[in-house]
């Protein structure tokens, strides 16, 4: 949205500047990053909904759009117009889920534009149809946090109930992916990470109680179908849905259904998602197939194992999480990189030796020592390539080499990290309670 920034946004920017009165670099970073989503990616629609592009891609991802506006919930507490804008995002996400709960990214209108002509059930509204658990988690989380931040319940309407029904049905179906799912996805002439094997069904899985995912939050295919951090995120939002159903919708049956599914998935995590590492002890795996195979790694995209306290699955001092964290921030994690300028978590989605600003923000917000938080705080200032914006991935030896100069999710994650350094958190969010 071009034009003058809202008064509430300018006030919070000024507030942050008073916390760092002599650090002009931090002031410039926050000024640019915090306003970026509002100024460049938000597109109000005639029907009162809000379409949000990711930045350099003209589509709306369910995951990205929720993360992009999440820091603005702090503004929505006092700014009705900002609250209207975010409610519009939620309503747009809900309409997309009702259109197709298996899709991850959507067009602004049903124009037939798409990333690729994939073998899956496409419609003109879909930009991409990679099924990812987190695409259904993020809208529930945003709706819940919006309620906690503003007290509004108008978004918990008939369309929300319909979408929630589709989410629950999808997750239950995908608990038995091999037998019950009709979802398929194939892409030709592409890297292996952009398509699913076994004629679009993905590698075989056994029943675990967890729910299956075709793709990671990076939009890369899962190696094994049970993506542990995404299942953990589902457990969290199912409990949030239970609270919404009980306190707002007054629907005990829905509350019980959500909580029972959360229990089933969580038991699957406990039974199949924990391994013994020879160096770090009991840790969480990133993926498993329920057939004895495990993928030990972490990815920069959220949900990640590093982000578990941020998501609300566990406390930051949880012993298994701390063991897992030590593994993630070590060379035992194949996507942990350390160079002349920076160290941190990257992704198979980007080149080797590239780490992500998103993962740095998560590392900083979930750190339990002031020293680690300060290290991350300094790394941001050194790795923006003098642009005063965050990027997707950057090279550990030379941050001037980076991917995606316009990536709103990264800018919002930096903003949330810096606000946490100022003692400012989204109401109802897990870190606000820790």
DSSP 314-336: S-TT-HHHHHHHHHHTSTTSTTE
| Predicted confidence (pLDDT) at residue 428 exceeds the cutoff of 70 | yes
Cβ(11)–Cβ(34) below 8 Å: no
Q: SS3 for 163?
A: helix
- Please check whether residue 240 lies inside any domain of the structure: no
Cβ(17)–Cβ(79) below 8 Å: no
Q: Count structural domains, the chain.
A: 1
Q: What is the pLDDT of residues 156-186, one digit of tens each?
A: 999 999 999 999 999 999 999 999 999 999 9
Q: Kind and range of the H or E element at 229?
A: helix 228-244
pLDDT in the model for residue 425: 97
Which distant-in-sequence residues (6+ apart) come within 8 Å of 284 by Cβ?
228, 229, 269, 273, 274, 275, 305, 308, 320, 321, 324
- Please check whether residue 244 lies inside any domain of the structure: no
- Please check whether residue 111 lies inside any domain of the structure: no
Q: What is the pLDDT of residues 203-230, one digit of tens each?
A: 999 999 999 999 999 999 999 999 999 9
| Predicted confidence (pLDDT) at residue 3 exceeds the cutoff of 80 | no
pLDDT in the model for residue 117: 96
Cβ(146)–Cβ(86) below 8 Å: yes
What is the span of the domain harbouring residue 366? 1-40+336-424
- Please check whether residue 389 lies inside any domain of the structure: yes
- Mean pLDDT across 405-425: 97
Q: How many CB atoms lie within 10 A of CB 376?
A: 20
- Please check whether residue 251 lies inside any domain of the structure: no
Residue 91: both structure tokens together: 């309503």
Of 185, 188, 21, which Cα lies nearest the Cα of 104?
A: 185
- Mean pLDDT across 9-13: 98
pLDDT in the model for residue 433: 79
pLDDT in the model for residue 2: 66
DSSP 52-70: E--BSSSSEEHHHHHHHHG
Secondary structure percentages of the chain, helix, strand, coil, to 5: 50, 10, 40
Cβ(337)–Cβ(346) below 8 Å: yes
Q: Kind and range of the H or E element at 365?
A: helix 357-366
Mean pLDDT of the chain: 97
Of 61, 62, 85, 64, which Cα lies nearest the Cα of 73?
A: 85
CA distances from 294 to 226, 308, 347 (A): 10, 19, 18
| Predicted confidence (pLDDT) at residue 146 exceeds the cutoff of 80 | yes
First to last CA, the chain: 34
pLDDT in the model for residue 187: 98
- Please check whether residue 212 lies inside any domain of the structure: no
Cβ(416)–Cβ(370) below 8 Å: no
- Please check whether residue 193 lies inside any domain of the structure: no
- Mean pLDDT across 55-77: 97
Residue 304: both structure tokens together: 């990640």
> What's the gap between Cα 280 and its chain centre?
26
pTM listed for this prediction: 0.98
Residue 166: both structure tokens together: 């589709």
- How many Å is the Cα radius of gyration of the chain? 20
Q: Kind and range of the H or E element at 7?
A: helix 7-19
Name the DSSP letter for residue 193.
Answer: G
pLDDT in the model for residue 434: 72
Q: What is the pLDDT of residues 338-380, one digit of tens each?
A: 999 999 999 999 999 999 999 999 999 999 999 999 999 999 9
**Helix-helix angle 80-99:133-150, to 10 degrees:** 150
Dist. CA 225–CA 214, nearest whole Å:
6
Dist. CA 234–CA 89, nearest whole Å:
20
| Predicted confidence (pLDDT) at residue 311 exceeds the cutoff of 90 | yes
Dist. CA 210–CA 271, nearest whole Å:
10
């Amino acid at each position: 949205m071009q034009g003058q920034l809202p008064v509430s946004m300018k006030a919070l920017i000024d507030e942050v500047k008073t916390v760092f009165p002599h650090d002009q670099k931090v002031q410039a970073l926050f000024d640019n990053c915090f306003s970026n989503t509002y100024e460049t990616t938000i597109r109000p629609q005639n029907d009162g909904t809000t379409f949000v592009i990711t930045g350099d891609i003209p589509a709306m991802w369910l995951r990205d759009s929720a993360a992009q506006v999440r820091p603005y919930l702090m503004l929505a507490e006092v700014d009705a117009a900002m609250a209207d804008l975010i409610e519009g995002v939620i309503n747009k996400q809900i309409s997309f889920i009702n259109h197709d709960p298996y899709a991850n990214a959507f067009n602004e209108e049903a124009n037939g534009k798409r990333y690729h002509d994939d073998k899956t059930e496409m419609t003109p509204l879909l930009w991409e149809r990679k099924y990812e658990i987190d695409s259904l988690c993020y809208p529930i989380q945003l709706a819940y946090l919006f309620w906690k931040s503003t007290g509004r319940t108008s978004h918990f309407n008939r369309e929300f109930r319909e979408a929630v029904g589709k989410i629950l049905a999808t997750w239950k179906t995908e608990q038995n992916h091999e037998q019950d799912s009709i979802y398929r996805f194939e892409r030709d002439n592409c890297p292996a990470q952009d398509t699913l094997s076994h004629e679009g069904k993905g590698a075989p899985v056994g029943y675990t109680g967890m729910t299956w995912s075709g793709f990671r939050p990076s939009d890369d295919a899962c190696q094994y179908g049970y993506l542990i951090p995404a299942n953990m995120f589902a457990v969290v939002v199912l409990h949030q849905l239970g609270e919404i159903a009980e306190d707002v919708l007054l629907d005990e049956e829905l509350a019980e259904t959500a909580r029972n599914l959360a229990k089933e998935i969580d038991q699957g995590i406990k039974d199949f998602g924990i391994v013994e590492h020879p160096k770090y002890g009991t840790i969480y795996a990133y993926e498993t197939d329920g057939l004895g195979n495990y993928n030990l790694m972490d990815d920069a995209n959220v949900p990640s194992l590093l982000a578990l306290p941020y998501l609300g699955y566990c406390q930051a001092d949880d012993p298994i999480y701390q063991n897992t964290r030590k593994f993630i921030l070590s060379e035992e994690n194949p996507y942990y990189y350390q160079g002349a300028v920076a160290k941190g978590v990257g992704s198979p989605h980007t080149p080797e030796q590239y780490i992500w600003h998103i993962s740095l923000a998560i590392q900083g917000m979930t750190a339990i020592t002031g020293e680690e938080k300060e290290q991350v705080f300094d790394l941001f200032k050194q790795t923006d390539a003098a642009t005063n914006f965050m990027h997707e991935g950057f090279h550990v030896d030379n941050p001037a080499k980076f991917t995606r100069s316009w990536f709103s999710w990264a800018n919002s994650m930096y903003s949330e990290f810096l606000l946490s350094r100022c003692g400012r958190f989204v109401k109802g969010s897990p870190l606000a309670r820790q």
